[in-house]
Chain A
Amino acid sequence: MNRWFKKLLDRGSRSRLLVVACVLGLIGLALMSWSLFDQGWIPVMMAMSIGQVIGTLSFGLFLLVVIIDLRRATFRPSMPAQASRKEDR
């Protein structure tokens, strides 16, 4: 599991992850919106359980993409290296 996750972080396709996140997000939103119109027990329970789990999963995938981005980013130091002083030479 750990190795699989590390592999995902190192080589995972960000755009594919985002496509999955968007599809899951749309399903989650549909379930959550359904309960706003039909307040029977099935829509309300679906919204508050499955809908929210799917929505959370979708947001989690987005955060994963952000983490992957941060891991692959090359940061330049904000301060230039201090010039060596004369007496050090």
Chain B
Amino acid sequence: MHVSPLAWIALTCAVVAAVIMLLYLVYRPPLDGKTKGFLALGLGVLPIMTALIGNVEGLRATEHQAFCGSCHTMDFHIADANDPDSMGLAAIHSRTKMFGDRSCYVCHKDYGMYGYTLTKLGGMGHVYYFLTDYAWEDAHESLPRVHIARPFRNDNCMQCHSTSGRIWNGVPDHQGLLEDLRAGQTSCASAGCHGYAHPFSKPPEDETEPAEARLDPGVKAPEGT
């Protein structure tokens, strides 16, 4: 358990506020200006500080694997991401410092203008599905049903892999599919290309089939993919 310096400040505010409230409850002093001043601190200023810092810390916590993994439905995904022997995309990326213990968030967040808010709203959707459905099953039962809400966007991959580098463009498949990849017509994380991010969660036939995870089902896969 790591508690940040900011969290210690919040905790100090909470403790002081709690002491003020407990003193009032125990001694019940007359309600003069001095008592009201202390109560304004204990019931207003200090708890508001705790809440504000708690929000910052709470939102920061939502970016860590520990938060995503606190739902049992994600047990296998987290275990695979942290497996040093796994060659899934999630595991390969989680081994790098930039992703590390924030790998779920770095890959799955929305990078658009309102990305932070949209990502949090998506997270609330996960909470809803968890409470209304998945919470009552064990991880083995829910594994075949867990799926991404919408196909994984290549835009997220392109935050790091710009698709403009010489080495990247030197790969023949990348060259042939450049426009499709940039437009999101062909998914980087598909069985025919780099494989699924969490391959253990797919049925065996999906792993070998050169399937295309297409965003637009109406568009056919280019040959050779």
Closest chain-B Cβ to A28's Cβ sits at a distance in Å of 7
> Which chain A residues lie closer than 8 Å to B57 at the CB level?
35-36, 39
Complex Cα–Cα for A34 and B11 (A): 10
| Given A29-B14, A36-B11, A48-B55, 8 further pairs, Cβ under 8 A | A33-B54, A39-B58, A39-B66, A39-B67, A44-B67, A47-B54, A48-B58, A62-B44
> Which chain B residues lie closer than 8 Å to A48 at the CB level?
54-55, 58
Complex Cα–Cα for A55 and B43 (A): 8
Contact indicator B54/A25 (Cβ below 8 Å) = no
Contact indicator B61/A19 (Cβ below 8 Å) = no
Query: Which residue of chain B lies nearest to A60 when distances are taken between CB atoms in the complex?
Result: B43
Complex Cα–Cα for A67 and B61 (A): 38
Secondary structure type dominating chain B contacts:
helix
Q: Assuming A15-B31, A66-B36, is B58 touching A41 (CB within 8 A)?
A: no
Query: Which residue of chain B lies nearest to A47 when distances are taken between CB atoms in the complex?
Result: B54
Mark interface residues in A56-89 (1 if CB within 8 Å of B CB, else 0): 0011011001100100000000000000000000
Could you tell me which residues of chain B, from 1 to 43, have a CB within 8 Å of some CB in chain A?
1, 3, 7, 10-11, 14, 17-18, 21-22, 24-25, 28, 31, 36, 39-40, 42-43
Q: Assuming A39-B64, A41-B70, A44-B62, is B54 touching A32 (CB within 8 A)?
A: yes
Query: Which residue of chain B lies nearest to A45 when distances are taken between CB atoms in the complex?
Result: B127
State how many residues of chain B have any CB contact under 8 Å with chain A: 36
> Which chain B residues lie closer than 8 Å to A32 at the CB level?
10, 14, 47, 50-51, 54
Contact indicator B43/A58 (Cβ below 8 Å) = yes
Complex Cα–Cα for A82 and B10 (A): 53
Contact indicator A25/B61 (Cβ below 8 Å) = no
> Which chain A residues lie closer than 8 Å to B71 at the CB level?
41
Complex Cα–Cα for A53 and B22 (A): 20
> Which chain A residues lie closer than 8 Å to B22 at the CB level?
22, 26
Contact indicator A29/B67 (Cβ below 8 Å) = no
Contact indicator B39/A18 (Cβ below 8 Å) = yes
Contact indicator A29/B17 (Cβ below 8 Å) = yes
Tell yes or no: B181 within 8 A of A by CB: no
> Which chain B residues lie closer than 8 Å to A39 at the CB level?
57-58, 61, 64, 66-67, 70
Q: Assuming A39-B67, A55-B51, is B25 touching A44 (CB within 8 A)?
A: no
